[in-house]
Structure 1
Amino acid sequence: MSEHLTTDPEAIETVRELIKDIDTAMLTTISGERLVSRPMKTQEIEFDGDLWFLTKKDTSKYEDILQDPRVNVSYAGKSYVSISGTAEFVDDPARKKEMLNKIIEKILDTSPDDPNLLLIKIHTETAEYWESGSAIKMVTHLLKKAVGKTSDPKSEPGLNEKVDLSHAPKS
């Protein structure tokens, strides 16, 4: 059975809006035969279909991505977003300087000119999101559904959408 992935620009914009205020993402890599997830600081740059993170070469995630660049990035807040894609390492001094702030410098024990510091660029392919509704909205919806007053899935709180990001406009 094939999944339906929307390419609707509104759905892509929804992904952007849902992740923009979530401070920490979980980056999942493939490590041998198992999956490993780690918290990563969400960068305060506009999401254009690619995701960016900072890391160092002397980490296991660096080795994992070298072996298999397939990754997943998940966000949890008022809503939930799961983004799949392919990672690559980028050594761009200007972008590193732009993305590195005092908190990340302290966490990574690094500076912008550290040769061990790299960017991870995630070329996103698909996203799936679940929007959360308020408890009252959810109960109201379930009551309407129970008495046959609604059948429009777009009206459901907790809306779930699968999004094709491979053609999202990149800046």
Structure 2
Amino acid sequence: MDKHEKLIDLISEFDHAMLVTRSASGTLGSRPMAVAQMEDDGDLWFVTDRNSGKVADLMLDDDVAVTMQGSNKFVSLSGKAHAVDDQAKIDELWNEAWKVWFPEGKSSPSLVLLRVEPTRGEYWDNSGASGLKYLVKAGKAYLQGERPEKDASINASVSM
């Protein structure tokens, strides 16, 4: 599995992410988001309120970061995001649990999709056999007063 495939595979394991945007004042803001869908190329879809601060942020600066974390797996993406008004896509993605935020359902006028198109991604996967292999390397390096070598199977940067 190449680095790009590994990154896509890791992204697909996450149901939630932190979406980071830049406000008009230049500050960064992050908020948890449920992942509505991940496409095969790594594009992510989220559902939000069109009157939210994140949508206002995106109108000024569409550069975003998306981070995901599990017990021993981490992903960081950077790219572009934009609001999408597409009722057919909303119908396709609709999850009844979202009625908590959109009581009118999928036809709610405040509901809008966010599409994040990553241009770059990084991952750290310290799970399974590769994680154990890294722990052995790290322990050995610690005992020798050195830093462990970077292992491409555990950590990689990928252009999307």
TM over 0.5: yes
Give the C-alpha shift of residue 144 in structure 1: 5.3
1:121 lines up with 2:115 in the alignment = yes
Give the match for residue 93 of structure 2. Answer: 99
Choose which of 3, 6, 30 in structure 2 pairs with 1:14: 6
* 1-structure distance, mates of 2:88, 2:54: 23
In the superposition, the TM-score normalised over structure 1's length comes to: 0.78
Greater length-normalized contact order (CA 8 Å, ≥ 6 residues apart): 1
Give the C-alpha shift of residue 70 in structure 1: 0.7
Give the match for residue 161 of structure 1. Answer: 156
Q: Structure 1 pair 67/60, CA: closer, same or farther in 2 (3 Å)? A: same
Structure 1: runs of 5 or more not aligned: 1-8, 166-171
Deviations 1:52-90 (A, max 9, x none): 111111111111111111100000013100000011111
Give the C-alpha shift of residue 93 in structure 1: 0.6
Give the secondary structure class of the aligned counterpart of 1:115.
coil
Give the match for residue 49 of structure 2. Answer: 56
